[in-house]
Structure 1
Amino acid sequence: MVIRPMTLADASAVAVLSGDLGYPTMTDAVYRRIHHLQERADNGLFIAEAHAMVGWVHVYGVRLLETEGYAEIGGIVVAPSSRQQGIGTQLIRACEQWAAHHGYHEVRLRSGIQRTWAHAFYLRLGYAQSRASYCFRRSVAPMLGHDVPGPTMD
């Protein structure tokens, strides 16, 4: 088993595994996302590979005004046929090493309430449930390539 950085050539396999995570997507969309994330220094993208890709993880830094910030695991998936073999543990440990290397003192992750098997896995690795909260969202139209005015101060 090898844990290595994700490359653009991994887009197709990442797309397949994303479907296992519950986020079906197309290879070209994953390719664009990998490219976009690789351009930003505060993202770690890793692949678990045996004879083929069997898992991936995305960790990123969260810098906040009100706290020192933290690293957050945005997504992790191991192919169903490769689970219970320590692959998820290795991917999580890669995130922890990435976080320490980038100066973060904490790693966080979010997990849907229905994924009770995943919760047990995280608890076994020493993670603790910190709180329950609601997630609110609203769509906005991207304004890429345009000057976006900042707030006005009256």
Structure 2
Amino acid sequence: MNAKLGAQSEAQINISPAALADAADIQGLTGELGYASTEAQTLDWLSAMLESPGYGVFVARSVGDGTISRTVGWVVVECRLSLETGYKAEITGLVVSASHRRLGIGEALVARALQWSDAQGLDTVIVRSNVNRDASHHFYRALGFSLSKTSHVYQLALS
């Protein structure tokens, strides 16, 4: 899947499945979300996802503008199963580099996640968004997602 960036650039965006070679770029973009991880951790987690048919991991690469191709975004979508609602897809992560936002890249990544979900036979896609991420709330609504509920998340470390 390719998308043309805005008129100010001749760059193209290519959306493709992630590869282990993308780990360093993915880790850097994850930091833009506010999550700290090492490249080694990212490589380990990415490897596990790529080996599982239950995950779709896709990257957006900026290509063709006279510069070296670089990863400017990623999305993870997974098949989820619960006893209450059955099978569904969940977008569990999405980020676009701050320097490439508002150019349609996030929308292209979500479109690819929806294609993956449809190919898996899943008819519902959900996404959770931190209450503090106002821009993402507007983004998902603009793509046709509707708010279905709010919840609290509790965490307990087992170390």
Cα deviation digits, residues 96-141 of structure 1 (max 9, x gap):
1111100111110111111101100111000111111111222235
Matching residue's letter, 1:107: V
Question: TM-score, structure 2 length as denominator?
Answer: 0.85
Matching residue's letter, 1:14: I
Deviation at 1:24, TM superposition (A): 2.1
Tell me what 1:20 maps to. Answer: 32
Tell me what 1:123 maps to. Answer: 141
Name the CA distance, whole Å, in 2 between partners of 1:61 and 1:30.
Answer: 20
Name the CA distance, whole Å, in 1 between partners of 2:36 and 2:22.
Answer: 16
Q: Does 1:102 align with 2:120?
A: yes
Name the CA distance, whole Å, in 2 between partners of 1:140 and 1:119.
Answer: 32
Name the CA distance, whole Å, in 1 between partners of 2:84 and 2:134.
Answer: 31
Deviation at 1:26, TM superposition (A): 1.1
Name the CA distance, whole Å, in 1 between partners of 2:96 and 2:143.
Answer: 16
Tell me what 1:30 maps to. Answer: 42
Q: How many residues align?
A: 141
Name the CA distance, whole Å, in 1 between partners of 2:135 and 2:47.
Answer: 32
Tell me what 1:48 maps to. Answer: 60
The structure with the greater share of residues assigned to strand is 2
Mapping for residues 2-17 of structure 1, pairs under 5 Å:
2-17=14-29
Name the CA distance, whole Å, in 2 between partners of 1:123 and 1:15.
Answer: 27
Cα deviation digits, residues 75-96 of structure 1 (max 9, x gap):
0000000000000000000111
Structure 2: which 5+ runs fail to align?
1-12, 63-68
Question: TM-score, structure 1 length as denominator?
Answer: 0.88
Report the RMSD for the aligned CA atoms in angstroms.
1.0
Tell me what 1:82 maps to. Answer: 100
Residues 16 and 24, structure 1, Cα contact 8 Å, conserved in 2: no
Cα deviation digits, residues 3-31 of structure 1 (max 9, x gap):
00000000100010000011121111100
Secondary structure of residue in 2 paired with 1:138: coil
Tell me what 1:39 maps to. Answer: 51
Residues 11 and 31, structure 1, Cα contact 8 Å, conserved in 2: yes
Secondary structure of residue in 1 paired with 2:82: coil
Question: Highest Rg: 1 or 2?
Answer: 1
Structure 1: which 5+ runs fail to align?
142-154
Percent identity reads 35
Deviation at 1:66, TM superposition (A): 2.6
